[in-house]
Amino acid sequence: MQSRKMILWVSVAVLCAYFAIALCAPLLSPYGPTEIVGNPFQSPGNGHPLGTNDLGQDIFSQLVYGARITLLFGFCAALLSVLISTSVGIVIGYYGGLPDEIVSRLIDVFMPVPMFPLLIVLTAFFSPGVLQISILMGILGSIYGIRIIRSQVLSLAQTSFVEGARAIGASDFHIMFRHILPNVMPVVMVKFVSSSQRLLLMGVGLSFIGLWDTTTVDWGTMIQNSYSSGGMSLGLWWWLLPPGIAVIGISLALAMIGYSFEEKFNPRVGVNRL
Amino acid sequence: MNLISIAGLCVRFPTRSECIRAVDTIDLEIARGDHVALIGESGCGKTVLGMAVMGLLPENARIRGTVRYRERDLLLAGEPDMQRIRGKEIAMIMQNSANSLNPVIPVGSQVAEPLMIHGILPAEAAYKEAIRLLAAMGFNLPERAAGRYPHEFSGGMRERILVAIALACQPDIVIADEPTSGLDAQVKSQILHLIKKQMADRTLLLITHDMGAAHFLCTRIAVMYAGEIVEEGPTHDILSLPMHPYTQGLLASLPSAGLHPIPGMSPSPAHLPDGCRFCSRCPSATARCSTEHPPVNVRGSRRVRCFHYD
């Protein structure tokens, strides 16, 4: 019990640290992320805490500025996906009927399609920017969530407090907003944390493949650059490891927070996942 | 003057192969200030009757008869009219307090909700009124109780909250459906005392299988069996001198009378016998009882559906 609480708080602290770094990027980094400020392939030290890359850009500055882009698309996409899945799930679950049928069948069609390959195809077609990618990921990521929320709403719509509110003439909006939404909030929270982790990793993956604007610096492009310019074979660990560790750190923190939330809100889930 | 008069009320649920006759030709008059208990075993149709009065039966119910309330027939009233009446003029205290409250909303807001939906009070005043109601229901620190969630209360306290919700809009009539089911004896008596106090100048229809509760709260008792009212009259008369064999059996089966159960099972509402519905279990049944359906016989202030009182 105690150790699980510790893990949660450490994870939250790590997450806060990432956000603080992203917010204070200009204060923390000595140079701009795309500025050429030194000789190529400089090892750490000498005014470059993490050395420089093949173009002589400061890797520490890239790492710090990269946090902005990476967190931005991860959380934007997760927020959007949760917004879509909650609103659509509540509305179709509550009203049922034809719209519910149509959306459910559409979900059945999209569910078996693996999301990452689909994203690769779509980004290859539209070559979108960071914001458009987030929107795309948000929409695709909401599919599973709609199903979960909808099923919850179906059973909530049968409860006596919902029927009672309807019996005395409460508006549908009142029932959905005041009675149903607070009841699905735990699921929504868990979904938000877990999908922000999933979508953040997916975004890093996409930028690693190099399917979007490669001039924006984020952790995926950093890893991609180091990989394609032979950073690994040259043994330039300071180029590859920092963005890699940064990605692992945040996705671990988010996963742990997600598990703790899930255990808190749904005590029947196994306790041995940590 | 009768506040509610139910006449010839029938509720049927047709299924693919058979027809469930849940409630059959019920006549019941409830005067203003009257406290009437509807007593019967599980499945005799008493809850369906309560739901029919509230207009809350499911879509597939076939309803006949009239429920007259203040010069209008509730069975003919449209849903918007019923929504205005429910909670405001006729309120219900629900069975099963555990599921009737929204688990994620503080109880104060839930007590205030009917006041706001019916447009009686604005949000803030409604919340103040909710606190006042909780105080009247016997909560020591009503402000603190109002901010708490349903799971923080015991079953008895949740029942008090449900009573507060039912009384929030000062309804004329309260229909209480098993308000004390699942409570232990001491809490039950507290809730019954609370209901008695709050119902002093209101009209109550108590739906229960608990003779003790009916005796304590009600001035009149109607005994239901297999969808019909088999006996009706003033509480004291019925308890001291039951006329219908079913009522006699019911009283004999009480723990205080020695726990003598009535033999047999009540008939399935899909296959009701042609004669008296109690005939197969009745100790004094005659040949006529199994072929002819007994009419209602009026004896002074009492009515009984049995051939022995022709």
Do A169 and B100 count as a contact with CB atoms less than 8 A apart?
no
Nearest chain A residue to B86, by CA: A168
Do B117 and A164 count as a contact with CB atoms less than 8 A apart?
no
Q: Which of A95-109, B133-147, B180-194 is predicted with the least confidence, judged by mean pLDDT?
A: B180-194
Do B83 and A167 count as a contact with CB atoms less than 8 A apart?
yes
Give B183 to chain A, closest Cα distance, Å.
Answer: 19
The pLDDT value given to residue B36: 95
Chain B touched by A26 (CB under 8 Å): no
Q: Which two tokens stand for residue A130?
A: 């960071």
The pLDDT value given to residue B96: 67
Q: Tell me the average pLDDT across A2-24.
A: 91
Nearest chain B residue to A170, by CA: B117
Stretch (H or E) spanning B112: helix B107-117
Chain B touched by A169 (CB under 8 Å): yes
Greater model confidence, A126 or A269: A126
Give B166 to chain A, closest Cα distance, Å.
Answer: 11
The pLDDT value given to residue A267: 62
The pLDDT value given to residue A268: 63
Do A182 and B104 count as a contact with CB atoms less than 8 A apart?
yes
| Statement: residue A230 has pLDDT above 90 | no
Q: Tokens 């089966």 belong to which residue?
A: B253
Give A143 to chain B, closest Cα distance, Å.
Answer: 26
Neighbours of B159 (CB within 10 A): 29
Q: Where are the domains of chain B?
A: 2-89+171-309
Chain A touched by B80 (CB under 8 Å): yes
> A66-77 pLDDT, tens per residue?
999 899 889 999
Q: Which two tokens stand for residue A271?
A: 């306790």
Do A169 and B99 count as a contact with CB atoms less than 8 A apart?
no
The pLDDT value given to residue A171: 93
CA distances to A253, B35, B137, B203, B205 from B200, in Å: 60, 9, 14, 8, 13
> B166-191 pLDDT, tens per residue?
999 999 999 999 888 888 889 999 99
Write the single-letter amino acid at B196: K
Chain B touched by A170 (CB under 8 Å): yes
Do B117 and A183 count as a contact with CB atoms less than 8 A apart?
no
Write the single-letter amino acid at A266: N
| Domain topology for B2-89+171-309 | Rossmann fold (3.40.50)
Q: Which of A28-32, A109-113, A118-122, B3-7 is predicted with the least confidence, judged by mean pLDDT?
A: A28-32
Q: Which of A102-106, A120-124, B23-27, B142-146 is predicted with the least confidence, judged by mean pLDDT?
A: A120-124
Chain A touched by B46 (CB under 8 Å): no
The pLDDT value given to residue A79: 95
The pLDDT value given to residue A95: 94
- Judging contacts by C-beta atoms under 8 Å, the chain A residues touching residue B113 are 165, 170, 178
Do A164 and B103 count as a contact with CB atoms less than 8 A apart?
no
Give A259 to chain B, closest Cα distance, Å.
Answer: 22
Pairing of strands B72-73, B220-225: unpaired
Chain A touched by B98 (CB under 8 Å): no
Query: A148 pLDDT band (50/70/90 cuts)?
Result: very high
Rounded distance between C-alpha atoms, residue A228 and residue A56, angstroms: 16
| Statement: residue B196 has pLDDT above 90 | yes
Chain B interface, best mutation among A152, A159, A161, by max B CB count within 10 A: A161
The pLDDT value given to residue A274: 45
The pLDDT value given to residue A71: 92
Q: Tokens 């297999």 belong to which residue?
A: B226
The pLDDT value given to residue A89: 96
CA distances to A236, B40, B295 from B309, in Å: 106, 21, 10
Give A3 to chain B, closest Cα distance, Å.
Answer: 27
Query: A80 pLDDT band (50/70/90 cuts)?
Result: very high
**Residue pair B207/B50 in contact by the 8 Å Cβ criterion:** yes
Query: A253 pLDDT band (50/70/90 cuts)?
Result: very high
Task: Report the percentage of chain B scoring pLDDT > 90.
Answer: 71
Give A161 to chain B, closest Cα distance, Å.
Answer: 5
- Judging contacts by C-beta atoms under 8 Å, the chain A residues touching residue B58 are none
Q: Which of A223-232, B22-31, B186-195 is predicted with the least confidence, judged by mean pLDDT?
A: A223-232
> B79-127 pLDDT, tens per residue?
999 999 999 999 998 776 678 899 999 999 999 999 999 999 999 999 9
- Judging contacts by C-beta atoms under 8 Å, the chain A residues touching residue B80 are 169
Do A169 and B101 count as a contact with CB atoms less than 8 A apart?
no
> A180-201 pLDDT, tens per residue?
999 999 899 999 999 999 999 9
Q: Tell me the average pLDDT across B248-273.
A: 89
Give A263 to chain B, closest Cα distance, Å.
Answer: 18
Give B103 to chain A, closest Cα distance, Å.
Answer: 8
- Judging contacts by C-beta atoms under 8 Å, the chain A residues touching residue B103 are 183
| Statement: residue B251 has pLDDT above 60 | yes
| Statement: residue B142 has pLDDT above 90 | yes
Alpha carbon B24 to its chain centroid, in Å, reads 16
Q: Tell me the average pLDDT across B135-154.
A: 93
Rounded distance between C-alpha atoms, residue A221 and residue A208, angstroms: 5
- Judging contacts by C-beta atoms under 8 Å, the chain A residues touching residue B99 are 159-161
**Residue pair B300/B236 in contact by the 8 Å Cβ criterion:** no
- How many residue pairs from chains A and B have C-beta atoms closer than 8 A? 49
Chain A touched by B88 (CB under 8 Å): yes
Query: A270 pLDDT band (50/70/90 cuts)?
Result: low
Neighbours of B290 (CB within 10 A): 14
CB within 8 Å of A166: residues ≥ 6 apart: A175
Q: Which domains does chain A have, with CATH numbers?
A: 2-265 (1.10.3720.10)
Greater model confidence, A147 or A47: A147
Do B105 and A185 count as a contact with CB atoms less than 8 A apart?
no
- Judging contacts by C-beta atoms under 8 Å, the chain B residues touching residue A160 are 94, 96, 99-100
Chain B touched by A167 (CB under 8 Å): yes
Nearest chain B residue to A183, by CA: B104
Instruction: Render B238-297 in DSSP notation, one character per residue.
Output: HHHS--SHHHHHHHHTSGGGT--PPSS-PPPTTS--SS-TTGGG-TT--HHHHHSPPPPE
Neighbours of B219 (CB within 10 A): 14
